[in-house]
Amino acid sequence: MDFVLRNARIEAGGGLVDIGLAGGRIAAMEPGLRCEAPERDAEGRFVFPGFVDVHIHLDKACILDRCTVCEGTLSEAVRETARAKAAFTQDDVYRRAAGVVDMAILQGTLALRTFVEVDPRAGLRSLEAILRLKADTADAIDIEICAFAQEGLTQEPETGAMLAQALGLGADLVGGCPYTDPDPIAHVAGIFDLAERFGTGADFHVDFDLDPDGSALPAIIAETGRRRYGGRVSVGHATKLSAMAPEAAEAVGRRLADAGIALTVLPATDLFLTGRDRTRLVPRGVAPAHLMKRLGVTATIATNNVLNPFTPFGDASLIRMANLYANVAQLARDDEMEAVFAMVSCDAAKLMGRDDGLRVGGPADLVLLDATGPADAVRGIAQPLASWKTGRLVMERPAGTIHRAAGATRPRVAFGRAAEGFDA
């Protein structure tokens, strides 16, 4: 055994176990594990296989200093970012992206899927930077790269050829954005053509407005079925689902589940950009991921943008995003919080085809959260205290400490919670 994490809670309300790691795998998971390896006491805190950010844009993160945000609309964000993008250099993209990857690692994320724009403005500079970063940080985080047509395809045929080049250079999958294309249906088909040609998955930004009509989802569902692509397709935003009548949204959810298409909601961006035409009672514009999950859809929550005109906020924290979603979706019960936690952990892992639970023989990827379980973590935006990737300690930070005056008698209670496992 190389290391043992003792007294870990691996399921809500479950007992404590010791997790033994050896050769980059989980070698044992049981109470009172007898061995001499170096150890750490989790003190009853929750341990899980790490957050998975299935939708983030590393290439255009941290550019608020070079953009103007006046309207806060989607069209302004696309326009401002396109202008900034033309001046991106490989080193500039690398530096900004590396900063965000470090933020994500410190937030307990062990895998992410980044979109990287490939078009006549970005050239292949952003892609080359992110490929370099992926190799340079492989010891700490798994990065999947989605070559992305943010600004359309059919009206700019060079983009299709460049996406093919990107897939040849090592991009892991291809992404489309039918809402910026004058011919959204042909756009969807074009992205599927590329995915089929290179044998990769496909990920679409779709339905990013609050008109319940005119969804691109039927076209994506049809192509997924026709090409037998179930399980390899995901869609992000789908904010139209928040504007549809419940029966209509449920019908779409059933079709997504049947087709094997995963859904990702991006609460920070969806809240910031939608409903800008309203002066009061501003709609939330966040697709009901928890209802879609109940229908059998692989539903996930992700970061999307960090500090740019699409989202002028961000710290790459998925537990904060889960909390934001639960708050906006007006959830309350423990089982609802646990479902939301799954959307940034095991369901997100499933979307990316990763191991989705702790098991003996599985990869020694662990994150220690300052919480007693997933519901507690979502409610309190629990801080990650340490993470291990293939058995190696990747990150650690101290739990908060309150220093009391000499002679003070009140017992220690962590973060206001007198939960089991926390009392001194």
- Positions in the binding site for Zn ion (CB under 5 A): 304
**The dihedral of CA 80, 301, 107, 371: what is its sign?**
positive
The smaller minimum CB distance to Zn ion, of residues 202 and 368, is found at 202
The smaller minimum CB distance to Zn ion, of residues 7 and 311, is found at 311
Compute the least distance from the CB of residue 266 to Zn ion, in Å. Answer: 6
Compute the least distance from the CB of residue 305 to Zn ion, in Å. Answer: 7
The smaller minimum CB distance to Zn ion, of residues 137 and 304, is found at 304
Give the chain's end-to-end CA distance (angstroms, integer): 29
Compute the least distance from the CB of residue 206 to Zn ion, in Å. Answer: 10
Residue sitting closest to Zn ion (CB): 304
What tokens does 381 get?
A: 């935006």
CA 406 to chain centre: 45
Compute the least distance from the CB of residue 281 to Zn ion, in Å. Answer: 27
What does each C-alpha distance from 385 to 13, 46, 57 come to in angstroms?
Answer: 20, 10, 25
Residue listed under structure tokens 């410190």: 106
- Distance, CA of 130 to CA of 112 (rounded, Å): 12
The smaller minimum CB distance to Zn ion, of residues 26 and 262, is found at 262
The smaller minimum CB distance to Zn ion, of residues 175 and 190, is found at 175
- Distance, CA of 191 to CA of 188 (rounded, Å): 5
- Burial (CB < 10 A; 0-12, 13-18, 19+), residue 281, is exposed
The smaller minimum CB distance to Zn ion, of residues 242 and 304, is found at 304
Compute the least distance from the CB of residue 174 to Zn ion, in Å. Answer: 14
Whether residue 206 contacts residue 179, with contact meaning beta carbons closer than 8 Å, is answered with: yes
Compute the least distance from the CB of residue 373 to Zn ion, in Å. Answer: 30
Compute the least distance from the CB of residue 55 to Zn ion, in Å. Answer: 6
The smaller minimum CB distance to Zn ion, of residues 239 and 387, is found at 239
Q: Is 349 left (phi over 0), alpha (psi -120 to 50) or beta?
A: alpha
Compute the least distance from the CB of residue 302 to Zn ion, in Å. Answer: 8
The smaller minimum CB distance to Zn ion, of residues 235 and 297, is found at 235
Q: Which of these, 406, 366, 402, 401, lies nearest to 386 by C-alpha position?
A: 366
Which amino acid is located at 415 in the chain? F
DSSP string, 14-65: --EEEEEEETTEEEEEETT----S-EEE-TT-EEES-EEEEEE-STT-S-GG
Q: Which of these, 287, 275, 293, 179, lies nearest to 238 by C-alpha position?
A: 287
Compute the least distance from the CB of residue 371 to Zn ion, in Å. Answer: 28
The smaller minimum CB distance to Zn ion, of residues 46 and 148, is found at 148
A 10 A CB-CB count for 32 gives 9
Whether residue 239 contacts residue 276, with contact meaning beta carbons closer than 8 Å, is answered with: no
